[in-house]
Amino acid sequence: MTDRPEEDAGVADADLSDTTVLVTGSTSGIGREAALAFGRLGAEVLVHGRDEAAGETVVAEIERSAGDAQFFPADFTDVTAVRNLADAVRAHVGSLDVLANNAGGYFREAHLTEIGVEQTFHVNHLAPYLLTADLLPSLASDARVVTTSSGAHRGDPLDVEAVTTVDDYASFGAYQQSKLANVLFTKELARRFERSRGARTANCFHPGAIPGSNFARSLPGPIPRLIQSLDVLPFVPSPADGAATLLYLAVSDRVADVSGRYFADCAPATPDDPARDREAQRRLWTESAELLGIPEPLQDTADETAKDEERQTEETQTDETAKDEERQTDETASDEETRAETHD
Ligand SMILES: NC(=O)c1ccc[n+]([C@@H]2O[C@H](COP(=O)([O-])OP(=O)(O)OC[C@H]3O[C@@H](n4cnc5c(N)ncnc54)[C@H](OP(=O)(O)O)[C@@H]3O)[C@@H](O)[C@H]2O)c1
């Protein structure tokens, strides 16, 4: 691993000088490293977060490299702020080539946002859903939407009704549900993109466990600093390592036609079963619009739903192939271990 995600992603030679990229949550951590990498490749980078000073620092760093940048602030707990962000981006860009839905957090305290939604679900899922919906008219015909999910999505199926209360709030459970929503959202968006007959894609990924970001900021006392201090240990992935799969999905020719998939370490991976539930994907899409009080984006029709059933079989087969590939890699690795042990 290097401190250059574009190298780890195998896209260091890409020329992004005609490309505009929005990276949400790029004032720190994984998003910041991704934004700097896009800048080094020559892109125009729209930097987002709440911390203006940190945002302007990222902008200045990008401008010292090959890219151009501008900071767009917005608090993702605030529906109006997200809509204003989309308006500002639409006014600023001709078209957007990459939308990296990366902003997110882990919240120790229970809190309902002004629309009565649990804040982890709101920040990590509803806000990027709304931003993506509002930016649809500005997405290039071959735009890539890349969403930062997490291996933490594994666990219980999604319960959208439960997000309107914080009774029995459990911070890890709330985070798991929001990261599961990222995978369900990606798969439904990919399907709706496919129907709209453009070449737009949607994929999501697990960046790895990255102690060096600000991710643990809501934990009490010295815990965030203790976690961050692990960053100096060898073999612990850095925020730059975490950004490699984002760069890969946003730039690599190898995934130009791949959509609706979950990745880890720049390779397809199989998400948890609840993330592959077609009905849950569809329900999340419509219920998210209801929670936000907006018309359903990229609206479904009965005909298309029927066609989906056919595609479902294909997708299940592709997921099974990914599982087979993983099994094969595991088997090869363990064969190699056995050979090495025999050698010793
Ligand atoms: N670190 C890990 O181990 C890990 C593992 C799996 C997945 N992830 C995912 O990776 C993504 C990036 O996290 P990170 O580890 O890089 O953490 P980070 O350093 O804390 O970065 C989070 C980014 O999101 C922004 N953000 C947080 N809350 C926001 C809000 N209410 N409104 C607007 N922006 C907000 C922050 O901006 P401001 O600071 O300017 O508000 C910051 O730029 C998240 O989606 C996280 O779930 C992280």
204/108 same-domain check: yes
Q: Which domain holds residue 337?
A: 304-344
CA of 25 to the centre of ligand 1 (A): 6
- Measured by CA distance, the residue closest to atom 7 of ligand 1 is 150
- Ligand 1 and 29: CB distance under 6 A: yes
DSSP annotation of 275 reads G
Interval 125-143 mean pLDDT: 98
Counting atoms of ligand 1 from 1, which one is nearest the CA of 75?
Answer: 32
**Residues 326 and 246 occupy one common structural domain:** no
pTM above 0.85, yes or no: yes
Q: Confirm or reject: Cβ of 31 under 6 Å from ligand 1.
A: yes
CATH of the domain at 208: 3.40.50.720
What is residue 72's three-state secondary structure?
A: strand
Ligand 1 centroid to Cα of residue 123, in Å, is: 10
| Ligand 1 center–CA 105 separation, angstroms | 5
Tell me, yes or no, whether 33 and 170 share the same domain. yes
**Distance (Å, whole) CA 172 – CA 184:** 18
Atom of ligand 1 nearest to the CA of 25: 43
86 and 46 housed in the same domain? yes
- 175 among known catalytic residues: yes
Protein residue with least CA distance to atom 23, ligand 1: 25
User: pLDDT tens digits for 32-77?
Assistant: 999 999 999 999 999 999 999 999 999 999 999 998 999 999 999 9
From the alpha carbon of 152, which atom of ligand 1 is closest?
6
Question: Quick one: 197 and 343 in the same domain?
Answer: no
Are 243 and 263 within one domain?
yes
Task: For residue 157, give the nearest of 263, 288, 277, 313 by alpha carbon.
Answer: 277
Task: For residue 112, give the DSSP letter.
Answer: B
Mean pLDDT for the chain overall: 90
Average pLDDT, integer, range 224-234:
86
Ligand 1: centre distance to CA 114 (Å): 21
Distance between CA 92 and CA 138 in Å, rounded?
A: 10
Residue 191 CB neighbours (<10 A)? 24
